[in-house]
Chain A
Amino acid sequence: MNITLPFTDEIISQLHAGDRITISGTLYTARDAAHKRMTQQLCGGASLPFDPKGQTIYYAGPCPAKPGHVIGSCGPTTSGRMDAYTPALLDLGLKAMVGKGQRSKEVVDAMVRNHCVYLGAIGGAGALYSKCITSMEVIAYEDLGPESVKKLTVKDMPLTVIIDCRGNNLYDLAAK
C-alpha cells in the first residue's frame, strides 16, 4: 500500500501488523535529547517545535549531508528509549511513529486509546533511507547536532507495520 501523509484514522484502521507499506509526505525526526527537551517544554507550558496533531515522528539522528546531498545516512534508532516520553505525545494527537524495536505496554495502550500506528524501518539501512528523503530542514534544537528536530519530506519510504491500532504486534506474532 502506498500512503500519502498525514495519516487519517481511516487509513490507520486499514493497517495490520506485518503489512509492508510505503509512505510519502512530511515527517519529523526526534530522538533521545529532543524528546527530553520537548517533554520539559510541555511540562513548562511552552509549545512544541511542531504541533504533533496528526503527525508522524521518525526516531532518527542522521549523518551530515555530503555536498550535493539532501541528507546523510538516515536509518531508524531504537524506539524503546523514547517510551517514557511517548504516551504524552500520543495523547496530544501524534498519529504514527517510525523506528525499530519493541515498545512498552504504556506506549501500546496509548496507541490503542488514540488510534495510532507504529511502523518499522530497517535498522542499519541508513544509506537506502537517505535516498527516500527529498528535503530536510532543521526546525528546532540545532545545538543538539544529530539530535536536532528536522522536518523531512520523504518519497516512497518502505516500512513494515509493527504495531497496529488494535495493539497487534509483529514481533510477538513472529515469536509464536
Chain B
Amino acid sequence: MKMIPVSTVVEAVRKMCMEANYFLCDDVRAAIECARGRESSPIGRDILKDLIKNADVAKEEEIPICQDTGMAVFFVRLGQEVQIEGGLLTDAINEGVRRGYSDGYLRKSVLSDPIRRENTGDNTPAVIHYEMIQGDRLEITFAPKGFGSENMSALKMLKPSDGLEGVKQFVLDTVRAAGSNPCPPIVVGVGIGGTMEKCACLAKYALTRNLGEKNPDPFYAQIEEELLAKINALGIGPQGFGGDTTALAVHVETFATHIAGLPCAVNINCHVTRHKKVVL
C-alpha cells in the first residue's frame, strides 16, 4: 500500500487550478500558431495573433488567460494500491479548488443551486469523475470548463440506422448552431456509444487529450480528420468573423453500446481548452 496524505492532494490541486488558468498549454499554443499560418482571412489572422498575445500577457503577469476560469472538472484515476490518508479524497480535491481559486485570484463562477442561484463564493463543488486502476498511482487531470462553450454542447440518442453518417451530421449541426458563441477556434470532443451519461463523459474526456494526438484506432482517427476538415469548411472562423479556422481539433472517444442505441455527445471547448495532469 502506498500512502498519500490529503495535504499532498490539496496542494497539487491548488497549484493546478492556478497553472491551468494562467498558462496556455503548449499543444494549444502550437495549434493556434499553426492555424495562423494557414488562415486566409486577414481578420481571422489578426484574431489568432491577439490570442497568442493574450496568452503571453497572462503568462507574464500570472493572470487568467480568460476571465471564465470555469467550473472545476476532474478526471481522477486511483490505483487500487493507494490509500488516501487523513480524510476523503473528494474533500481534498474541493479544498484544493477552494484554495487555488482564492489564492490565484480566479473567478468564482459556481452556484450552489441551479434554480435558486446563489454563488458559493469559492468555486466549489468540483465535478469529479473517478476511475479505479491497477497499481499505486494517483492521476489527477484538471480541465476547468467555461460555459460559453459548455452551453453550446449537445447530446442526441441517435438510432442505429442513423449510423456513422448520422453521427457526422449531428456533430456538424451542433458546431454550426454554436456559431460564434463558444469563442472559436474551438476544440470538439465527441463521445459515441455507452449509455446517455457515459456518452457525455466520453465527450468531456475527449477534451483532455493533447491537441495533435489522434484516436489510436485508425478508423476513428480518420473520422476525426474528416470531421475537422468539414467543420473548418463551414467558414465560421476565429470568433465567428469568417475564415478557415473554426476548430483546432476534433477528438472522438467511444465505448461499447446497446443493440438498440447509438448515443452521440458533442462537448465544445473554446480556444483556451485548459487541461493539466499530475501523477502522485
Query: Which A residues are within 8 Å of any B CB, using their own CB?
Result: 18, 20, 33, 60-66, 69, 72-75, 77-78, 80, 100-102, 120, 122-128, 130-131, 144-147, 158, 160, 170-171, 173-175
- Contact (Cβ within 8 A) A125 B63: no
Kindly state the interface size class of chain B when it binds its partner: 35 or more
B240 touches which of A64, A124, A171 (Cβ 8 Å): A171
Residues of B within 8 A of A102 (CB): 179-181
By CB atoms of chain B within 10 A, which of A61, A78, A173 has the most?
Answer: A78
Closest 5 CB pairs of A and B: A174-B242, A123-B183, A127-B58, A126-B67, A101-B181
A173 to B235, CA, bound (A): 11
Give A139 Cβ to nearest chain B Cβ, in Å. Answer: 19
Question: What are 18 pairs between A and B in contact, CB < 8 Å?
Answer: A18-B241, A63-B107, A65-B105, A66-B63, A69-B61, A72-B64, A72-B105, A75-B66, A77-B148, A101-B148, A101-B179, A102-B179, A122-B50, A146-B107, A171-B241, A174-B240, A174-B241, A175-B235
Q: How many A-B residue pairs have CB under 8 A?
A: 141
Residues of A within 8 A of B272 (CB): 124
B106 at the interface (CB under 8 A from A): yes
Give B147 Cβ to nearest chain A Cβ, in Å. Answer: 8
- Contact (Cβ within 8 A) A63 B64: yes
- Contact (Cβ within 8 A) A74 B119: no
Please, which residue of chain A has its CB at the minimum distance from the CB of B183?
Answer: A123
Query: Which B residues are within 8 Å of any A CB, using their own CB?
Result: 43, 46-47, 50-51, 53-55, 57-58, 61-69, 105-109, 117, 119, 121, 148, 151, 179-181, 183, 235-237, 239-243, 270-272
Residues of B within 8 A of A100 (CB): 148, 180-181, 183, 239
Give A59 Cβ to nearest chain B Cβ, in Å. Answer: 11
Given A101-B180, A145-B121, A173-B242, 5 more contacts at CB 8 Å? A61-B109, A63-B105, A78-B148, A127-B63, A160-B241
B179 touches which of A69, A75, A171 (Cβ 8 Å): A171
A145 to B105, CA, bound (A): 13
A131 to B61, CA, bound (A): 11
Residues of B within 8 A of A120 (CB): 239, 241
- Contact (Cβ within 8 A) A127 B240: no
A127 to B243, CA, bound (A): 24
A1 to B271, CA, bound (A): 28
**Given A72-B105, A77-B148, A123-B183, CB of A63 within 8 Å of CB of B63:** yes
Residues of B within 8 A of A170 (CB): 241
Residues of A within 8 A of B235 (CB): 174-175
A115 to B47, CA, bound (A): 28
**Given A101-B179, A102-B179, CB of A124 within 8 Å of CB of B105:** no
Please, which residue of chain B has its CB at the minimum distance from the CB of A67?
Answer: B105
- Contact (Cβ within 8 A) A126 B64: yes
**Given A101-B179, A123-B183, CB of A175 within 8 Å of CB of B242:** yes
Give A38 Cβ to nearest chain B Cβ, in Å. Answer: 16
- Contact (Cβ within 8 A) B58 A122: no
- Contact (Cβ within 8 A) B241 A131: no
Residues of A within 8 A of B243 (CB): 174
A101 to B65, CA, bound (A): 19
Residues of A within 8 A of B62 (CB): 66
- Contact (Cβ within 8 A) B148 A125: no
- Contact (Cβ within 8 A) B108 A123: no
Give A93 Cβ to nearest chain B Cβ, in Å. Answer: 27
A66 to B121, CA, bound (A): 17
